[in-house]
């Protein structure tokens, strides 16, 4: 059976992933309102991914006979005036998620819970990608500054993102 502290931490992370999803949905709406449909799509895919993260963690807790603790999901708070502000908020948020994931990995090590450590290791790697993706877009937005043509070009690139439940794909391998 899953250690109670680990169950609580994983449950908090389920909540954090739903909060992430909720935040990205709100950010997607902001981008849509800016007329940036590609960025709105990218953020909507991010919303879909976060839902799968929450669901996989929820399933893992139950598969280990742990308890799932439910809490309220906070209202998303971010500056949605510009796409640069939105992606600054994305990076800031993902750094907080990384801290939560790392804390779970540390607790799993302390409990000698190899299964949980292995499960959460996927998320450790995922967070490296999440932060890298956000930084990449922030860097491009810094180069773009106020160039509308370049912004629309980036928007077209963001529109090509395809949703994949990567953890489900990894489990099949």
93 in contact with Mg ion (CB under 5 A): no
Alpha-carbon span 113 to 166, nearest angstrom: 24
Query: Judged by CB under 5 A, how many residues of this single chain contact Mg ion?
Result: 3
When binding is defined by CB under 5 A, the residue of 53, 87, 89, 101 that contacts Mg ion is 53
Determine the interface stretch with Mg ion among 50-58, 63-71, 106-114, 147-155 (rule: CB under 5 A).
Answer: 50-58
**Helix runs in the chain, H state only:** 4-33, 37-63, 83-110, 114-144, 148-158, 166-172
Tell me if 28 sits within 8 A of 45, measured CB to CB. no
Least Å from the CB of residue 74 to Mg ion: 16
Max intra-chain CA distance, the chain: 56
Alpha-carbon span 103 to 109, nearest angstrom: 10
41 in contact with Mg ion (CB under 5 A): no
Least Å from the CB of residue 97 to Mg ion: 6
Determine the interface stretch with Mg ion among 48-56, 105-113, 134-142, 153-161 (rule: CB under 5 A).
Answer: 48-56
Comparing CB distances to Mg ion, the nearer of 82 and 129 is 129
Least Å from the CB of residue 62 to Mg ion: 19
Contacts of 103 (CB under 8 A, 6+ apart): 9
56 in contact with Mg ion (CB under 5 A): no
Comparing CB distances to Mg ion, the nearer of 34 and 165 is 165
Crossing angle of helices 83-110 and 114-144, in 10° steps, is: 160
Residue ranges in contact with Mg ion by CB under 5 A: 17, 50, 53
């Amino acid at each position: 059976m899953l250690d109670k502290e680990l169950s609580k931490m994983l449950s908090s992370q389920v909540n954090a992933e739903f909060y992430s999803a909720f935040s990205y949905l709100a950010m997607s709406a902001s981008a849509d309102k800016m007329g940036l449909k590609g960025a709105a799509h990218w953020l909507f895919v991010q919303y879909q991914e976060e839902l799968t993260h929450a669901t996989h963690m929820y399933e893992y807790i139950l598969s280990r006979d742990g308890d799932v603790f439910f809490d309220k999901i906070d209202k998303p708070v971010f500056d949605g005036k510009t796409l640069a502000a939105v992606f600054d908020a994305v990076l800031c948020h993902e750094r907080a998620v990384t801290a939560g994931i790392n804390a779970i990995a540390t607790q799993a090590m302390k409990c000698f819970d190899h299964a949980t450590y292995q499960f959460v290791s996927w998320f450790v790697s995922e967070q490296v990608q999440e932060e890298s993706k956000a930084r990449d877009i922030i860097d491009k937005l810094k180069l773009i500054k106020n160039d509308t043509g370049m912004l629309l070009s980036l928007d077209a690139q963001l529109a090509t993102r395809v949703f994949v439940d990567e953890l489900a794909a990894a489990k099949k391998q």
